[in-house]
Structure 1
Amino acid sequence: QSKTFVVTATKTGFAARAFGETPPAVPPSYIELKNGEKKEDIDIQLVPHNFITGTLLDEDGTPFAGALVEALRALYDNGQRKFVTAADSISDDRGQFRLFGLPPGQYFVTAFDPAYSRVGDQLGQLFYGPTFYPGTPFQDDAVRVTLDPGVPVQGLKFKLQIIRPARITGKLIVTGLQLLAGAVNIGPSRNSRSASFATSEADIKPDGVFQFANILAERYIIRARGEVERQGLSHFGLWTQPVEGVDISGVEIVLSKGALVSGRVTWDGKSNRPPADQSGIRVRAPLSDGSTFGDALTGTIGLDRSFFLRGVMAGRHYIRVEGLPEPWRLKQVLWRGADVTDIPLDLDYGQTYDGIDVILTDTYTTLSGLAAVNAGDLPQGYAVIAFPSNTLNWQPSSRFIKITYLDDHGRFMFRGLPPAEYFVALTRAADESDLASDALLDRLSQNAVTIWLREGDRKSISLQATAPKR
């Protein structure tokens, strides 16, 4: 019989850390031990801790005492941002707080009034959300706080906002047809793109009525998908609305028949046969804003290598393939003689788009390297971003933009970047939610290393962290 452990090291004056943990991307490693088994080399690198101080005010500018203030670290799961608490504090009678024990890295600072942790109304419990520094309920407007080694951040000041969570109720409508099944998805949205925050789905009654409860203040987009006949085309609709503490009812989402997208898949293998089991591989049509909700969950590859997407929402879509086993990757998408691999297709309701050729390859690039960080710094606090010199490919969900994090020894690796010229930059002030920011990429390009990757290249580079300002 075996048991599983997480090994954590703590020392006064140093930030606690678990074995295998690589903030912000990798959680601690589990160690499994059998009776009498011995494991060695469980090494944990500790760095001196740092702290954040500030003052919390109420909406009138009066110091707010007794609030829970937290430093949150962002983690990403399938491209969606989630938060874990790295440190917390209670504001004192002057509204002041101190968040300590923090390793170098990026943090979101939030405040919450515990008095609202157990409240509700006649319809059930209400889960209030926090206020993000610099004083906004909107996650997308939150400003990260960056801690450099030995350089605390002091004097933050922001106001606590208490906004009631809302309920959104509505109905899916399919004119003249009966709804057999459906799904409704809600997620934050801003500036015509899908935000990289967790989304949720509502339960739908047989008559198409749906409800979302405990919706925090944010700008939202609701996407809906419905089925009206078995093996038929899925229907789609959407609705957008900012939500700020007021229940919204009577939402009507009219569903329209999706587009039909079809084509063939070519396995252009140099040294590998196509996988024998292709049941888990699908051709998909994600929206250009990054959302994957905009197509029917079809697109499986047939014995004749054909695929059919039986329903795609109107809008701009890329053609992508999910579930590919190593070393297979998307090489090219052709339609009507044009290369549309990285050009979104404008699809409309009820239309047919056939003859799409999807070409897969087992040849891929590898870009690895070693980054030197400053003495006393933690390599895992740094992100490495590879992005193309061609700004036309600075798009949400671009194949040409990747992020990874340094390991304990400052090493990093990218696999499968498409052939192109790239900037490679080392930064502590960015995460996955920034990858669609032209301003960030332009700023990083000024001090980035430039490298060409051609098909099948295996290349290595060195990076150097910039010393923090003190």
Structure 2
Amino acid sequence: MMGPYRRGTLIGLSLIAVVGSVLMSSLLADPVAARGRGGRIEGVVVSATTGTPLADVRVWLDPAMTTDPAPRRRARSDRQGHFVFTNVRPGLYRLYAQKEDYLFAEYVDPQAGDAQTYLQVDDQTIISDIVIGLQPGGSVSGSIWDEQGRPASGIIVKLLPLTPSGERPSTTRVNSTRTDEQGRYRLSGLRPGRYILRAERHIVDRGSARLAFAYYPDADSWASAVPIDINAGETLTDIDLNFHPRTESAIIAGVVVDAQTGDPLPGVSVSVVDELNLGLRTKTTADGQYRLEGLPPGTYALSTHAETIGQGYMRTLENIALAPGLNAVDVELQPAPLIAGTIEYIGSGPPPAPGDFMISVHFARQSQGIRYTGQPTFEFRGLPAGRARIGVGFAAIQYKLAAILYGDQDITGQTIELHPGDQLADVRILITDDLAATSEIKEIDEVRHP
């Protein structure tokens, strides 16, 4: 169920009168130009502890889930902490902000006090009283040492938060970074809580990869690791970790082939990952071989990705149990359906810019989307088989979908049946403009800085 929403301020005639009779008369003379401009969202980002404006904060506006999702809109705060989104398409939105050394924040209307609050934008709505306060986060830093006691560079360092009960680590909100040339690392913007620190070294070669890992301070598993407690805004230093040789590990190896021809497939991405997000990946060799070593025995999700090979292959995902020593697992891949085509703008105004819309293919339980980059073609590879629908979601107020054509058929809003190896290579997506939305109207601003 959709959460509560907050309405912005609707521009009225009294506000329009402030800017002068010339603008007033031009709007009244052209009623078409007075509508269809979308909304405006603006505000400031400040330190929640000092109230000081924060510059260079990443702010993004996420549309509420709709039938056809629209691209996320992005902005950065200026030196005064100010950010703005103009020409916002009417709808419901969530607002987020993030800056290094601060906690990730979602805007919550102080009057509602509900984290599920949406911002409602109607035509010509202005929401200009937003203040987002960012809390300083905690930080952890230290050094990673290899088996010979030397600084280890390029090591992946992860902080896994323990669940509230402390029973096991969680794979949500995992903070990660890499060590520098001196083996040093720093993780910041951390929420208060208890964490497990893990270091991972991935040595990747052609067709193979080897894993080495350790938990703080010198443990083989999270259960024997020493938890790290971080208080609000606390800085912890000298949290060092040492690698050491493992005596027992699992190896998974095999060959990946085309299920229809039996031919080996080169360049297929093969990966395994366990429930704590520990794993490896590599790409198959010219004869379809792969090998992953140094894994702790246990249960893993084995997946393959081969979207760029030929017309693409369908992804596979299966759970496997790896015992110590060699585990032989071969994989057969089915050719994937392919959807490709062109984007044609048939409007009379300026054409869409990159990021103004997104093309999606929807299945019963998943969707795949491509953000418009300015190129006139699009292509979906590695799709699953099944019933699918092509859709377009817009971030820009002035554009809309005219039609989706496949050959001489109009398939706008219709589902199509996709089978392994199908090729829908002549899909045409026609985009037009809304003349009311493209009419030029002078922006009317309210108070920018609450």
Q: Quick one: distance in 2 between partners of 1:232 and 1:424? A: 38
Among 256, 265, 270, the residue aligned to 2:256: 265
Following superposition, the deviation at residue 213 of structure 1 comes to 2.0
- Determine the structure 1 residue equivalent to 2:320: 345
Among 385, 409, 417, the residue aligned to 1:452: 417
Q: Quick one: distance in 2 between partners of 1:194 and 1:158? A: 23
Cα 1:464/1:371, change in 2 over 3 Å: same
Q: Quick one: distance in 2 between partners of 1:59 and 1:142? A: 20
Q: How does 1:297-316 map to 2 (within 5 A)?
A: 297=282, 300-301=284-285, 303=287, 305-312=288-295, 314-316=298-300
Q: Quick one: distance in 2 between partners of 1:422 and 1:290? A: 33
Q: Quick one: distance in 2 between partners of 1:150 and 1:370? A: 29
- Determine the structure 2 residue equivalent to 1:157: 131
| 1:359 counterpart = 2:345 | no
- Deviation per CA, 1:344-391, whole angstroms, max 9, x where unpaired? 33446x353214234364x642155869999999573333333431x4
Following superposition, the deviation at residue 417 of structure 1 comes to 0.9
Q: Contact (CA 8 Å) 1:179, 1:226: kept in 2 or not?
A: no
Cα 1:346/1:450, change in 2 over 3 Å: farther
- Determine the structure 2 residue equivalent to 1:68: 55
- Deviation per CA, 1:99-128, whole angstroms, max 9, x where unpaired? 26677698965487xxxxxxxxxxxxxx74
State the SS of the aligned residue for 1:90. Answer: coil
* Paired AA for residue 256 in structure 2: V
Q: Quick one: distance in 2 between partners of 1:143 and 1:242? A: 31
- Deviation per CA, 1:126-156, whole angstroms, max 9, x where unpaired? x744763427xxxxx9999797875444332
Q: Quick one: distance in 1 between partners of 2:151 and 2:101? A: 35
TM-score (norm 2): 0.52
Q: Contact (CA 8 Å) 2:302, 2:317: kept in 1 or not?
A: yes
- Deviation per CA, 1:320-351, whole angstroms, max 9, x where unpaired? 256x754253347xxxxxxxx23333446x35
Q: Contact (CA 8 Å) 2:314, 2:383: kept in 1 or not?
A: no
Following superposition, the deviation at residue 402 of structure 1 comes to 1.8
- Determine the structure 1 residue equivalent to 2:80: 90
Q: How does 1:368-407 map to 2 (within 5 A)?
A: 368=341, 380-389=355-364, 391=365, 401-406=367-372
Higher relative contact order (CA 8 A, sep 6+): 2
Q: How does 1:25-40 map to 2 (within 5 A)?
A: none
- Determine the structure 2 residue equivalent to 1:295: 280
- Determine the structure 1 residue equivalent to 2:31: none
Q: Contact (CA 8 Å) 2:272, 2:301: kept in 1 or not?
A: yes
Q: Contact (CA 8 Å) 2:142, 2:239: kept in 1 or not?
A: yes
Q: Quick one: distance in 1 between partners of 2:300 and 2:431? A: 39
**Tell me, which stretches of 5 or more residues in structure 2 are unaligned?**
1-35, 62-71, 109-114, 164-169, 216-221, 396-411, 435-450
Q: Which moved more, 1:366-375 or 1:153-162?
A: 366-375
Cα 1:70/1:223, change in 2 over 3 Å: closer
- Determine the structure 2 residue equivalent to 1:78: none
| 1:215 counterpart = 2:204 | no
| 1:201 counterpart = 2:178 | yes
Larger radius of gyration: 2
Q: Quick one: distance in 2 between partners of 1:89 and 1:107? A: 24
Cα 1:233/1:413, change in 2 over 3 Å: closer
Following superposition, the deviation at residue 201 of structure 1 comes to 1.1
| 1:236 counterpart = 2:193 | no
- Deviation per CA, 1:365-424, whole angstroms, max 9, x where unpaired? 2155869999999573333333431x4xx5xxxxxx421124669975423312122354
Cα 1:170/1:186, change in 2 over 3 Å: same
Cα 1:67/1:407, change in 2 over 3 Å: closer
Cα 1:216/1:143, change in 2 over 3 Å: farther
| 1:319 counterpart = 2:303 | yes
* Paired AA for residue 405 in structure 1: R
Q: Quick one: distance in 1 between partners of 2:104 and 2:384? A: 40
Cα 1:58/1:252, change in 2 over 3 Å: closer
| 1:99 counterpart = 2:99 | no
State the SS of the aligned residue for 1:52. Answer: strand
Following superposition, the deviation at residue 89 of structure 1 comes to 5.7
**Tell me, which stretches of 5 or more residues in structure 1 are unaligned?**
1-46, 75-81, 92-96, 113-126, 136-140, 333-340, 395-400, 430-446
Q: Contact (CA 8 Å) 2:94, 2:107: kept in 1 or not?
A: no
| 1:53 counterpart = 2:48 | no
Cα 1:411/1:290, change in 2 over 3 Å: farther
Q: Quick one: distance in 2 between partners of 1:69 and 1:146? A: 26
Percent identity reads 13
Following superposition, the deviation at residue 200 of structure 1 comes to 2.6
Q: How does 1:131-170 map to 2 (within 5 A)?
A: 132-134=105-107, 150-163=124-137, 166-169=139-142
